[in-house]
């Protein structure tokens, strides 16, 4: 190590050019690194989605979900399987063990699904398999306006003219449309005319399919030229469609126009899409897995500019762009990083009183960061909130090595001539570095070794925080190299002088004198001091038990999400007044800059739901959380719906902080689960400590059930499948062909008038055509009646699951949750119906267990490293007492700031273990040295007084550099806030208690015995 320092001092030009190369390659690495909000994470999850239009939740569960579940349940590596069956759709989520090859898993799922595709209902769509990824959500949303098109034509214009332009982009994986009403050709049937001419809906559909045909006819030659022959018959106008001849029962000629009205129409809307209260058509864009948010953003914005330039009537507004959020978050963290560097330099100046000394440390920090960035580039890490936060956190730890070397160089210089020149400063730099070189290396090893367990854990924590661990290790190794090369070089070149009148010199001397007086009183009562420290530790554990636990803290990107749920099947016109009332409240809020409204009836959620996303102003008066609370109060009086308000963010789905109660019931018998659910809901509604009690199955979706009578159906020459298809066509229509009009692809739908089957009696009289071309009414072959169907049916691992939720009132206490379970839930449970753990809690428990194991391994490794340093288990155990000291401050600060105990906080504890022991190592090592010439009590006091300055210096730089992160400012500030708070609180208490209580532990554990000489000291 001394040889490297000597090389740098003897060849300063080579060293300076090496630093310049480091800067160049570091900048190149930054330019080539991808920018993301979070590390790339393989979620080891897939979703199988299937549509079955018109089917109730129960039918979807029996006919679609269960067959697929039975098929995929034997997949290798499958950890758990959950499903949601709702009206018209099935969603099955497959969770795999971490480390599973998801490409192979995808192929296996596809094979299983293909095997049972033929057993699914005919009207069921092909199951769609979707791989999940943290960065695979919608990246950009655009609103489209064009003054040259009428509102009814806008959807088709966007679909045919705008959407294809974005689909061409290499960075775009998926393009989705929302809002507007799709234009189509409606063939509205006249039932009386159909009876008169003897045609049926099915015969008309068949004739339309036959009329729109293109049939290859081979080829022919004319001279030397060969021509392909194609026989075709297609229709490009509605007039031509009206003239299509139909097949009648008596073979007479009748045209489509004789039995139907052919005209343009718009599909009835079951959804709403508005931006600032104005109806819009919007486009959602998702990036390719290999692309970045920045690349798709740049490509889309170029396309937007070219489209607007080509059509002056076109206006495309970028409503949401992940690239902007990412840049804002990264900019906030980068500012924090710069601020941390500045704070560290100020602290150095306060202690040494020389700007040159600050510049030396200031020179070493960028070198360490650039070296770390180069390593990150070769590890294929992205620049994201986690890795940048690691760099910010690393700044405080990086300067520790530089401070120790710099102080040692100052001590070496103080023994030389005050008029020392370049050569003398070079000798001082070499001597000072050699004295502390091994100690600095050992301290770096202690800090780095705690991150080894991160490489061993799997799951979400492993994927998310391995880059953080590696980045900090890169920083620490780079800071070690910088401390033994850049610092001595700069010391030789800058030739700093330690000022006796440095700002902190007098306070440090006063603290040292006060410390000596205090310790003379404390040491005789060491056992009492130790007892007090144990009491503080137990108290901190009590505080920890009162902390909220969550997987991840939600980030604050300045968005508020308002979710509105109503009974299933609600008509659009009934939903409008509710949304209008909410929009009025949102519009009146001065902090809201823009808002988007969307509503859909049915779908994957199983109930009619709407969402309003509010984009808050940057200069808002209230924070996002305060705005959430305000909206909750203002929207509380709106009836006939369930409204929830929350902060929206990329990590909000993993944040579970809420003032609500929930319990999950599960069982194999759906009727039993439903019965118990209704009992518990009824009892909860009678309590004063909870309100707004709901269950996931309470919103029964009204359906008309058609129960086919097999005997009567067979007697009339019909099967259940034929009856079901006929009913579906009568109610939903049939789209046999598409036509192209003026370059636009338009679907043609054969349907009855909208009010033809508006009530139960009309549905009963739907006419069915049997194999003999005869017609019978639906009521003649089936029992048609109203019945309630659950809005959605949830299952996990083939068990039915129901969630009951409620909001706490002001009468609720900390024990309310346990009281409700004992008084309401538990008495209703049985062998058939039990409580379960939801996927989020299960994931949290699993991740916490993994990180807990990593913490235990880290503590063991720290013990091993220190025992090797001291060559003594006893001294290693002494230093280990600083770990519970640090926990006291960490838990206290989390409790005071009301920050949750999350995965990020546990990573903070992992870091803290490696840094908190450094002060203890320094103290114990110094005490051992002083005991060679002093009695034990004097050595204990003087070791603390002597080492107070470097201990305070390193602690202050680390703590103060973390304060910007601890404040949680910026859109992703709360993302890493807990990590900084854990380290700040832990380092403060461990430093104080290390100087005051550790001497007592040392005295008791050493037993007052003299320091044992090394028996192997004379062995070469």
Lowest mean pLDDT: which of 434-443, 543-552, 968-977? 968-977
pLDDT surpassing 80 at residue 454: no
Q: Tell me the percentage of the chain whose pLDDT exceeds 90.
A: 8
| Predicted local confidence at residue 300, as pLDDT | 93
Query: 255: closest CA among 281, 235, 232, 225?
Result: 235
Distance (Å, whole) CA 302 – CA 297: 9
Distance (Å, whole) CA 699 – CA 569: 10
Query: 294: closest CA among 530, 36, 476?
Result: 36
Over residues 877-899, the mean pLDDT reads 88
Which residue has better confidence, 536 or 226? 536
| Predicted local confidence at residue 972, as pLDDT | 60
- Between vectors from CA 709 to CA 704 and to CA 714, what angle results, nearest 5°? 130
| Predicted local confidence at residue 68, as pLDDT | 92
pTM recorded for the entire structure: 0.71
pLDDT surpassing 90 at residue 305: yes
pLDDT surpassing 60 at residue 253: yes
pLDDT tens per residue, range 734-748: 888 887 766 677 888
pLDDT tens per residue, range 368-378: 889 999 999 99
Over residues 580-599, the mean pLDDT reads 89
558-648 matches 42-133 in CATH topology: yes
Rounded to 10 degrees, the C-alpha dihedral 501/503/509/510 comes to 130
Which residue has better confidence, 148 or 649? 148
| Predicted local confidence at residue 233, as pLDDT | 62
| Predicted local confidence at residue 522, as pLDDT | 87
Over residues 958-986, the mean pLDDT reads 79
Distance (Å, whole) CA 98 – CA 72: 18
Which residue has better confidence, 1014 or 416? 416
Residue keyed to tokens 């009428």: 150
CA 665 to chain centre: 27
Other residues' Cβ atoms within 10 Å of the Cβ of residue 123: 16
Lowest mean pLDDT: which of 248-252, 698-702, 777-781? 698-702
| Predicted local confidence at residue 853, as pLDDT | 84
Three-state DSSP class for 248? Answer: coil
Over residues 55-64, the mean pLDDT reads 85
Tokens of 766: 């739907």
Tokens of 382: 């992205």
Q: How confident is the model at residue 271 (pLDDT cuts 50, 70, 90)?
A: low
pLDDT surpassing 70 at residue 569: no
| Predicted local confidence at residue 608, as pLDDT | 62
Give the DSSP per-residue string, 574-619: HHHHHHHHHHHHHHH-TTEEEEEEEEESSGGGSS-EEEEEEEEPTT
Distance (Å, whole) CA 762 – CA 715: 23
| Predicted local confidence at residue 759, as pLDDT | 83
Over residues 698-724, the mean pLDDT reads 80
Tokens of 4: 């490297």
| Predicted local confidence at residue 605, as pLDDT | 41
Over residues 342-368, the mean pLDDT reads 82
Distance (Å, whole) CA 645 – CA 276: 18
pLDDT surpassing 90 at residue 953: no
pLDDT tens per residue, range 104-132: 888 899 999 988 888 888 778 889 888 77
With respect to CATH, is domain 558-648 assigned 3.30.70.1430?
yes
Which residue has better confidence, 845 or 317? 317
pLDDT tens per residue, range 609-636: 788 988 888 888 888 878 888 888 888 7
Name the fold adopted by 504-546+838-1011: Multidrug efflux transporter AcrB transmembrane fold (1.20.1640)
| Predicted local confidence at residue 603, as pLDDT | 45
| Predicted local confidence at residue 378, as pLDDT | 92
Would you list the domain boundaries of the chain? 42-133, 504-546+838-1011, 558-648
Q: What is the mean pLDDT of the chain?
A: 82
Residue keyed to tokens 């040491």: 523
Distance (Å, whole) CA 989 – CA 583: 50
Longest pairwise C-alpha distance within the chain: 123
In the DSSP assignment, the letter for residue 119 is G
Over residues 550-570, the mean pLDDT reads 73
pLDDT tens per residue, range 458-476: 777 777 778 888 888 898 8
Which residue has better confidence, 696 or 905? 905
Name the fold adopted by 42-133: Alpha-Beta Plaits (3.30.70)
Distance (Å, whole) CA 628 – CA 284: 26
Tokens of 562: 């308002």
């Amino acid at each position: 190590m001394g040889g490297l320092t000597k090389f740098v001092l003897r060849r300063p030009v080579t060293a300076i050019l090496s630093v310049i190369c480091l800067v160049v390659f570091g900048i190149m690495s930054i330019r080539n690194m991808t920018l993301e909000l979070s590390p790339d994470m393989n979620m080891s999850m897939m979703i199988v989605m299937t549509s079955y239009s018109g089917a109730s939740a129960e039918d979807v569960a029996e006919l679609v979900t269960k067959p697929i579940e039975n098929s995929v349940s034997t997949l290798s590596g499958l950890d758990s399987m959950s499903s949601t069956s709702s009206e018209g759709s099935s969603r099955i989520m497959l969770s795999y063990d971490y480390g599973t090859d998801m490409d192979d898993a995808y192929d296996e799922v596809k094979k299983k699904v293909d095997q049972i595709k033929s057993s699914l209902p005919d009207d069921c769509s092909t199951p769609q398999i979707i791989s999940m990824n943290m960065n695979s959500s919608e990246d950009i949303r655009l609103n489209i306006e064009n003054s040259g098109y009428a509102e009814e034509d806008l959807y088709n214009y966007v679909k045919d003219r705008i959407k294809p332009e974005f689909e061409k982009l290499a960075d775009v994986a998926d393009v989705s449309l929302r809002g507007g009403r799709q234009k189509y050709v409606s063939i509205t049937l006249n039932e009386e005319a159909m009876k008169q001419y003897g045609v049926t809906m099915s015969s008309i559909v068949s004739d339309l399919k036959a009329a729109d045909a293109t049939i290859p006819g081979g080829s022919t030659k004319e001279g030397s030229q060969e021509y392909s022959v194609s026989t075709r018959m297609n229709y490009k106008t509605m007039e031509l469609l009206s003239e299509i001849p139909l097949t009648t029962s008596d073979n007479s000629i009748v045209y489509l126009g004789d039995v139907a009205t052919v005209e343009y129409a718009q599909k009835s809307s079951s959804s709403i899409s508005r931006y600032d209260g104005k109806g819009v058509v919007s486009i959602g864009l998702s990036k390719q897995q290999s692309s970045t948010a920045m690349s798709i953003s740049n490509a889309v914005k170029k396309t937007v500019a070219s489209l607007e330039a080509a059509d002056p009537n076109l206006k495309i507004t970028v409503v949401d762009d992940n690239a902007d959020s990412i840049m804002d978050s990264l900019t906030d963290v980068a500012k924090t990083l710069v601020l941390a560097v500045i704070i560290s330099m100020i602290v150095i100046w306060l202690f040494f009183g020389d700007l040159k000394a600050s510049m030396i440390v200031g020179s070493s920090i960028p070198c360490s960061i650039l070296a770390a960035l180069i390593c990150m580039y070769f590890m294929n890490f992205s620049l994201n909130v986690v890795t940048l936060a690691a760099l910010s956190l690393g700044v405080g730890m990086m300067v520790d090595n530089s401070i120790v070397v710099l102080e040692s160089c100052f001590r070496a210089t103080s023994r030389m001539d005050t008029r020392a020149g370049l050569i003398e400063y070079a000798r001082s730099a070499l001597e000072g570095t050699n004295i502390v070189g091994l100690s600095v290396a050992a301290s770096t090893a202690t800090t780095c070794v705690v991150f080894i367990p991160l490489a061993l854990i799997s799951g979400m924590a492993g994927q998310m925080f391995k880059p953080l661990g590696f980045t900090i290790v890169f920083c620490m190794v780079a800071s070690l190299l910088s401390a033994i090369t850049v610092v001595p070089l700069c010391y030789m070149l800058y030739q700093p002088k330690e000022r006796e009148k440095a700002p902190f010199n007098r306070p440090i001397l006063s603290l040292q004198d006060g410390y000596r007086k205090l310790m003379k009183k404390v040491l005789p009562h060491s056992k009492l001091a130790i007892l007090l420290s144990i009491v503080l530790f137990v108290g901190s554990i009590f505080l920890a038990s009162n902390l909220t636990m969550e997987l991840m803290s939600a980030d604050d990107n300045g968005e508020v999400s308002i979710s509105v749920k109503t009974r299933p099947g609600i008509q659009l016109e009934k939903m409008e007044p509710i949304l209008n009332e909410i929009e009025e409240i949102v519009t009146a809020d001065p902090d809201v800059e823009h808002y988007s409204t969307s509503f859909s009836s049915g779908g994957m959620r199983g109930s009619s739901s709407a969402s309003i996303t509010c984009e808050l102003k940057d200069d808002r008066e209230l924070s996002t959380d305060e705005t959430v609370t305000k909206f909750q109060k203002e929207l509380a009086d709106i009836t006939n719906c369930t409204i929830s308000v929350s902060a929206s963010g990329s990590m909000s789905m993993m944040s579970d902080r809420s003032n609500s109660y929930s319990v999950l019931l599960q069982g194999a018998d759906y009727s039993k689960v439903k019965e118990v659910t209704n009992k518990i809901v009824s009892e909860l509604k009678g309590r004063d400590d909870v309100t707004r009690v709901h269950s996931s199955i309470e919103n029964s979706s009204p359906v008309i059930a058609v129960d086919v009578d097999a005997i009567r159906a067979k007697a009339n020459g019909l099967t259940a499948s034929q009856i079901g298809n006929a009913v579906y066509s009568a109610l939903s229509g049939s789209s046999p062909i598409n036509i192209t009009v003026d370059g636009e692809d338009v679907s043609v739908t054969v349907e009855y008038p909208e009010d033809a089957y508006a009530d139960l009696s009309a549905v009963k009289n739907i006419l069915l055509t049997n194999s003999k071309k005869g017609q019978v009414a639906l009521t003649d072959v089936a029992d048609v009646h109203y019945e309630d169907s659950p809005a959605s049916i949830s299952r996990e691992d083939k068990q039915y699951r129901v969630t009951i939720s409620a909001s706490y009132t002001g009468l609720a206490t900390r024990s309310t949750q346990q009281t409700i379970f004992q008084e309401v839930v538990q008495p209703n449970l049985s062998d058939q119906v039990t409580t379960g753990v939801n996927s989020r809690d299960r994931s949290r428990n699993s991740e916490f267990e993994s990180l807990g194991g990593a913490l235990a391994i880290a503590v063991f490794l720290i013990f091993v490293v220190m025992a090797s340093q001291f060559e003594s288990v006893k001294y290693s155990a002494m230093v280990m007492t600083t770990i519970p000291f640090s926990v006291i401050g960490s838990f206290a600060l989390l409790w005071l700031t009301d920050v949750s105990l999350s995965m990020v906080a546990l990573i903070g504890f992992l870091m803290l273990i490696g840094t908190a022991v450094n002060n203890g190592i320094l103290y114990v090592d110094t005490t051992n040295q002083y005991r060679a010439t002093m009695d034990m009590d004097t050595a204990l006091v003087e070791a603390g007084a002597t080492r107070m300055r470097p201990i305070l210096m390193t602690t202050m730089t680390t703590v103060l550099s973390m304060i910007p992160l601890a404040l949680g400012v910026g859109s992703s500030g709360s993302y890493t806030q807990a990590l900084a708070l854990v380290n700040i609180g832990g380092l403060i208490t461990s430093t104080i208690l290390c100087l005051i209580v550790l001497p007592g532990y040392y005295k008791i554990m050493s037993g007052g015995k003299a320091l044992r000489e090394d028996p192997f000291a004379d062995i070469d």
